[in-house]
Amino acid sequence: MSAFTREVQKKFDAAKENKDLVSYETTEIEKESGGMNFILSLVPALAEKAKAKQDKKEGEEKHNPFLNPNPALVVKELDNHMILLNKFSVTPCHLLIVTKEFKKQTDPILPDELYEAFKTIKDFGSSQPTLAFYNCGPNSGASQGHKHIQVIPLNRDYEFQPPLKQLFDEIYDRQIGQIYAINKLPFVHVIIGLDNNIIRAAKDRESLTNYLAQMFFGILDAMFQQLRENSLPLDTSYNFLMTQDFMMLVPRSKETATIEHKGKQFEFSINSLGFSGSILCKTEEELEALKAQENLMDMLTQVGVAWSPDSEKYDAERQLAEAAELV
């Protein structure tokens, strides 16, 4: 366990004991679907949280928990950001990297934020699988309008963490720095492997920041290209995921997915975690509905963007045009 992990765990335990945060009890099961072992998490307390939000009086001003946060939740203060414990933690030691000044959750990630997120991943240590993610825009599943990146240490009991890594590892003849789309994912996305040799060789903050920014803006441009080929607006919401091995972007069309089970409809709000292969539910009935689904990838396609039948043709035409320019 790294020194940073011990520090975060100590802070988390104290905040939990003093009731400065709520740590939810969860039940997790695995379900293979679409070539990936999804993790389905039953969190009954989420229903209470949702009800509390609905019971708030209309017109009541929404409190911003990231401005002047509870000191018991502050893990580290940075130049322009703070690292906070998530007050409502489904995963223990769930961290939020928030801007000190109010910035919108619709704003794109900046290079210094990529650095802070990746550094936090590394600070948890190489033996601890960790995921950073950013829900950008109104359809991304973001629950707060104040800009924040989330970082969660993952359960080491599962072979693949996050589950998406299972499909990333299956990319044939994968090349570092090459942008890919995974065949088994039926929705628009882009993913790129990170070069650990370059990361290890980066001796200062500027070098690592520049490399991470180059990778991020590369896949951001590739995502916009995919949106053009699928005739979609370029101001769409999206989810960003990052581990120490890869970055991924998924454009979003809406926030909630709907499924049916035994004649009843169920709605699920999906954020970046859904695309990593983790889906939360509030009741046993919802869990049974998820377990009964033939293909959970259909839920992700509902809230993402299905591939256009013509996108491969457009991509081939673009590649031919680029090749012609090089001649």
Report pLDDT digits (tens) over 48-100: 655 545 544 444 557 788 988 999 999 999 999 999 999 999 999 999 999 99
Question: What pLDDT is attached to residue 9?
Answer: 96
> Lowest-confidence range among 194-198, 218-222, 286-290, 310-314?
310-314
Question: What pLDDT is attached to residue 193?
Answer: 96
Question: What pLDDT is attached to residue 156?
Answer: 85
Q: What is the pLDDT of residues 200-246, one digit of tens each?
A: 999 899 999 999 999 999 999 999 888 887 766 666 799 999 999 99
Contact 181, 190 (CB under 8 A): yes
Mean pLDDT value across residues 108-129: 94
Question: What pLDDT is attached to residue 233?
Answer: 65
Question: What pLDDT is attached to residue 187?
Answer: 94
Token readout for 274 is 């859904």
How far, in Å, CA of 189 to CA of 182, rounded?
8
Percent of the chain with pLDDT over 90: 70
Mean pLDDT value across residues 296-311: 86
Q: Write the DSSP symbol of residue 172.
A: T
Residues 6 or more apart whose Cβ sits within 8 Å of residue 211: 195, 198, 199, 202
Question: What pLDDT is attached to residue 302?
Answer: 95
pLDDT at 260 over 90: yes
Question: What pLDDT is attached to residue 8?
Answer: 96
Average confidence score pLDDT of the chain: 88
Question: What pLDDT is attached to residue 75?
Answer: 96
Question: What pLDDT is attached to residue 63?
Answer: 78
Percent of the chain with pLDDT over 70: 88
Provide the whole-model pTM: 0.90
236: region left, alpha or beta (phi > 0 left; psi from -120 to 50 alpha):
beta
Mean pLDDT value across residues 172-181: 90
Q: Write the DSSP symbol of residue 323.
A: H
Active site residue 81: no
The catalytic position among 81, 94, 146, 148 is 148
Predicted confidence band of residue 318 (pLDDT cuts 50, 70, 90): very low
Mean pLDDT value across residues 278-299: 95
Concatenate the DSSP letters of all residues of 31-75 into one string.
Answer: EEETTEEEEEEE-THHHHHHHHHHTSPTTPPPP-TTSS--GGGEE
